[in-house]
Structure 1
Amino acid sequence: MEKPNIFAKLQLIQTEIKELIRTEENKFQKYFFFNELQVLHLLKPLLNKYKLTILLSDDTSQPFIHEKEGKEHFIKYLKKLEIIDIEAPQNKLFFNFWACGSNVDLAKAKGASETYALKYFLSKLFLMPVKDEADPDYQPRQQKEETNPGGKKAVNDFLKKHG
């Protein structure tokens, strides 16, 4: 049996990846978010399973843009992500994406912008569904798959009566 190519492996990961749940809370601005660690916890086992690795670096083909206004540092720079098929290292995919951010500490501005850009880039590349438990319409996948016999009967009775 022939081993899947790098595109087939990406498709398998996209099919198997679990959903991200916004569990982290920004108490100051009152919203929930997912963090980089959640993305990596979902992704790393699948990368290992399908023998893919990711290399990340700054892309120097574009300038590092840094502006300072008052105490705030604003930065924008290009990141490069490389996906390599470990079973066939000549098979690689390259992606570029922008990292942008601000902070009063330049190093924190760079770190935060990279973390933010990477978590969103990976979640979109691998088609990770994002769920918010605070959303009243949210139901965990397991709950959706388990059918409530009493509830199903009530719906069927309602439809028969009013259908």
Structure 2
Amino acid sequence: MMNIYQKLIEVRKAIPYLQKGKKGDQYSYVGSSQVLGAIRDELDKQELLLIPKIVDKRILTETVENKDKYGNQKKRTTYFTELDLEFVWVNAENPEETLTIPFYAQGVDIAGEKGVGKALTYAEKYFLLKQFNIPTDESDPDAFQEKVESSKPPEMITQEQKDEIQSLAQSYVELRGQGDVKTVLTALNVMDINKIQKGEADKCIFQLKRWVAKLQKESA
């Protein structure tokens, strides 16, 4: 049975990316339902419960007077709700195993009765996005993955590739009857075999195999 941390990691593995699916007045964004929809199935699979607790709340009001289009004086009150929260993860397979994470949220409302609900919705969405390190982007998932791959450091030549290059170069020298391995590597533009990337090593191996095959055919 996995512990709660291992289960959270499995959830993170399952949700690598979310594309912005909603349009606002000026920008695209990821909606709360989109985040919950992407994560809920995996939470059920891992038997994890998330319980939000309101630890403290503060409601500030601001009243502004202005005129409507008819010239009548009107007052408008804005309610600014702040919540101090705790999100509690519970491992349903072992309910005594929990993980509590503090969080903060805010919600702005004009009527006054929706401030807490807006703050909770805001908190749940951003808590899950940050908890599982879920990136959001306007581009498609494939483009995002390419961006991630391009930011990774290049893979360097493996020991197996080094051995194969050295062996093929030696075979080429023996079949040709002159030169040495260093000369062959220079012909491949390899100045230091330890500093070439994995992809370049594959190209060198392919070229060496062609050279060796050609000499073997000529000497047959």
Question: Could you tell me which residue of structure 2 aligns to residue 5 of structure 1?
Answer: 3
- Judged with a 3 Å threshold, the aligned counterparts in structure 2 of structure 1 residues 26 and 139 are, in CA distance, closer, same or farther, namely closer
CA distance in structure 1 between the partners assigned to 2:30 and 2:90 by the alignment: 26
Query: Is the Cα–Cα contact under 8 Å of residues 19 and 141 in structure 2 kept in the other structure?
Result: no
Alignment of 1:13-162 (within 5 A): 13-27=11-25, 30-59=26-55, 62=56, 64-70=57-63, 71-132=77-138, 138-141=139-142
Unaligned runs of 5+ residues in structure 1 are: 133-137, 146-163
Identity of aligned residues (%): 26
Question: Whose Rg is larger?
Answer: 2
Q: Distance in 2 between matches of 1:14 and 1:35?
A: 18
Counterpart contact for 1:18–1:42, Cα < 8 Å? no
Q: CA deviation at 1:115?
A: 0.9
> 2-side partners of 1:33 and 1:142: how far apart?
18
Offset at 1:36? Answer: 0.9
Q: For residue 119 of structure 1, give the secondary structure of its aligned residue in structure 2.
A: helix
CA distance in 1, matches of 2:105, 2:61: 17
Residue pair 1:65, 1:77 contacting (<8 A) in 2 also: yes
Higher helix share: 2
Give the AA of the match of 2:45.
Answer: K
Q: Deviations over 1:115-163 (max 9, x none)?
A: 112101111101212121xxxxx23238968xxxxxxxxxxxxxxxxxx
The 2-side partners of 1:46 and 1:78 are apart by: 27
Q: CA deviation at 1:15?
A: 1.3
- 1:42-82, Cα deviation, whole Å (9 max, x unpaired): 111111111111112211xx4x2111110111111112211
Supply the AA of the counterpart residue of 1:25: K
Distance 2:128 2:107 in 1: 18
State whether residues 83 and 105 of structure 2, in contact with CA within 8 Å, keep that contact through their aligned partners in structure 1: yes
Who is 1:159 aligned against? none
Matched residues in 2 for 1:108 and 1:51: separation? Answer: 31
CA distance in 2 between counterparts of 1:116 and 1:143 reads 25
Gaps of 5+ in 2: 64-76, 147-220
Superposition TM-score, scaled by structure 1 size: 0.75
Bigger RCO of structures 1 and 2 (CA < 8 A, at least 6 apart): 1
Q: Stretches of 4+ moved more than 4 A in 1?
A: 142-145
Residues 77 and 99, structure 1, Cα contact 8 Å, conserved in 2: yes
SS of 1:89's partner is: coil
